[in-house]
A = this chain, B = another copy of it.
Amino acid sequence: MRVIPATEFALKREVDYGSAQQNEAVKSIIEEVRRDGDAALRRFAERFDGVRVDDLRVTKQEIEAAYEQVDESFLAAIRAAAANIRRFHEKQLRSSWMDLQADGSILGQVIRPLRRVGLYVPGGKAAYPSSVLMNAIPAQVAGVPEIVMVTPPATAGAEGINPHILVAAAEAGVSEIYRVGGAQAVAALAYGTESIPAADKIVGPGNIYVALAKRYVFGAVDIDSIAGPSEIVVLADETADAAYVAADLLSQAEHDEMASAILITPSPELAEAVAREVDRQLSELPRRDIAAQSIRDYGAILTVTSLEEGIDAVNRLAPEHLEIIVREPFQHLGKIENAGAIFLGPYSSEPVGDYFAGPNHVLPTNGTARFSSPLNVDDFMKKSSVIYYSKEALLRDGEQIIALARHEGLDAHARAIQIRLEKEGTNHG
C-alpha cells in the first residue's frame, strides 16, 4: 500500500452516468411499461431474467415457506439487528408542531409519512438481507403504511427464491413483494401497472440500469441518492492497533474494485505497520482479487504532521465511513464536518455499523457527505406548512402584505388582501 503525504493526494472517481446506449435502453423500457403495464413486465422477465412469471406478487405461503428454509442463527441475528436499527431510527421521529401567537394566529408544520414506498432489491449475489433491513425499517418507523419490495424473478421467483431476502423483508415490515427487476421494476413503481400501484418514492441499490431508471423517473416520484463508489477513511494515531486498522481498510476494499480505503496518520510507525498488515491479511482473503485492485487503484496511507492536519484531510475527502482510532476520539468529533458515518474508538469497526449497531448503512458516497446524509426517517416523511391567520393579524399586517405584492407587480395578490381589509376593516372599525 502506497504511503504518501496527505497534501499530495486527491481522490477522484467519476460517477457512472451510463452510455448513450444504456440511457436509450432504459428510456424505451420505461415507455413500454407505461404503455403495456403488466404485460411489459412479463415480457421483460422472459427476455432479461429468462423466467416466465405468472403471479407477479409473492404470496404469503412463499414467505412462510422461506422461514422454514433459513437457519435459527440467521433469524436471531436478523432480529437482533432489526431491533437495533428500529431503536436508532425511532430516536429520529419528529412530531407536527404549532406556534400559537398572541393575536390568535397559529403557524405550524404537519409532518406525515409518505403513503407508499418502493424498495428495490437486486438479484443474485448482490442481494443482501442487511440492505433490506436498512432500507425498509426507516420507512416502517416513519409510519409508511405501504412498503413495497421489488426484486428480479430469478431471486424471488419459484426457481431462484432467496429465502433470506424474503425473511428480512417480512421482519422489516415490507407489506408487498413483487417479482420484477431492472429498469422495468423502477418504471412500475414510478407509474404503476394493473398489479403494482405507483409509489411516492423509490429507494434501494441496483445495477446501472436501475440507477439510470431512477434518475429518469425522478420528479414523477422521489428517489434516494444514486450510490456511487464507496470509501472508508481511518484517522489513527500511534495508539491504534495496526492489525485492526488493516482489517477495517480491507473490509471496505473487498466491496468492489472502485472502493477506496485510506489511512490518515501522523505516526510513521503506524503507517509502516499497517502497510505490512494489509499485505499480510490481503493474501488470506477469499475476495483478494477485488480488494487488491481497490487498494492499488484507490487505496493510500496518507501521512500528516498532526491530527489537526489529518482532520482537514478528512473534511476534504468527505468519506462515506470515517473511523477515528486515536487517544480520546470524542475530543475530535466536533471538528469533523463531512462524513457519512463516524466510528469512534478501537471497537467500532465498520462492520459493526454495516450490520448491527443501528445507524443506517445507506450512506452518502464519493464525497457527497458534504451535503447528503445517511438514509433516515426524514427521507420517508414530508412536511406541510399550516397557516391560520386571525382577523386581528390580517388587519394589522394587511397593508404591508399589499405593499410587497404591489412592489412585485402582482396586483391580484394585493387585491386578495385588499378586498378583506375593505370588508372586515369596516366591520372592525
Contacts and interface: CB of A to CB of B under 8 A. Distances in A.
Chain A interface, >50% SS class: mixed
A416 B244 contact: yes
Interface stretch (A3-11, A61-69, A74-82, A304-312): A74-82
Q: Which of A125, A354, A358, A410 has the most CB of B within 10 A?
A: A410
Interface stretch (A44-52, A264-272, A364-372): A364-372
Interface in A297-355: 329-330, 333, 336-337, 339-355
B342 A416 contact: no
Given A115-B370, A383-B376, A387-B357, A412 B291 contact: yes
A285 B409 CA distance: 11
A296 interface: no
A6 B355 CA distance: 49
A194 to B, nearest CB: 19
Interface in A274-296: 281, 284-287, 291
Interface stretch (A33-41, A148-156, A170-178, A390-398): A390-398
Contacts of A376: 109, 383
Contact of A373 (B92, B363, B383, B397): B383
Given A128-B408, A281-B415, A382-B372, A107 B357 contact: yes
Contacts of A112: 337
Nearest to A104: B347
User: Which residue, of A244, A409, A413, has the highest number of chain B Cβ atoms within 10 A?
Assistant: A413
A254 B411 contact: yes
Contact of A387 (B342, B382, B383, B414): B342
A419 B115 CA distance: 44
Interface stretch (A18-26, A181-189, A245-253): A245-253
A419 B358 CA distance: 22
Given A343-B387, A370-B115, A407-B164, A333 B413 contact: no
B114 A347 contact: no
Contact of A351 (B286, B363, B417, B423): B417
Contacts of A350: 413, 416
A47 B351 CA distance: 54
Contact of A349 (B99, B244, B417): B417
Given A76-B400, A115-B370, A244-B416, A360 B385 contact: yes
A378 interface: yes
A331 to B, nearest CB: 13
Give the interface residue-count category, chain A.
Answer: 35 or more
Given A74-B403, A351-B414, 16 more contacts: A77-B404, A81-B404, A91-B97, A91-B109, A110-B333, A222-B368, A251-B416, A281-B412, A344-B386, A347-B394, A347-B424, A350-B413, A354-B413, A355-B405, A357-B389, A373-B384
27 contacts: A80-B397, A88-B99, A106-B344, A110-B342, A115-B337, A125-B409, A219-B226, A247-B415, A250-B415, A255-B410, A285-B412, A329-B388, A340-B384, A341-B384, A342-B384, A342-B385, A343-B387, A343-B389, A347-B393, A351-B414, A351-B416, A352-B394, A353-B385, A359-B385, A370-B382, A372-B382, A374-B385
Q: Which 10 A-B pairs have the closest CB atoms?
A: A359-B385, A373-B383, A247-B416, A222-B371, A254-B412, A341-B385, A344-B388, A351-B413, A200-B371, A77-B400
Interface of A: 15, 73-74, 76-78, 80-81, 87-88, 91-92, 94, 97, 99, 105-107, 109-110, 112, 114-115, 125, 128-130, 164, 200-201, 219, 221-222, 226, 241, 243-244, 247-248, 250-251, 253-255, 281, 284-287, 291, 329-330, 333, 336-337, 339-360, 363, 368-374, 376, 378, 382-391, 393-394, 397, 400-401, 403-405, 407-417, 419-420, 423-424
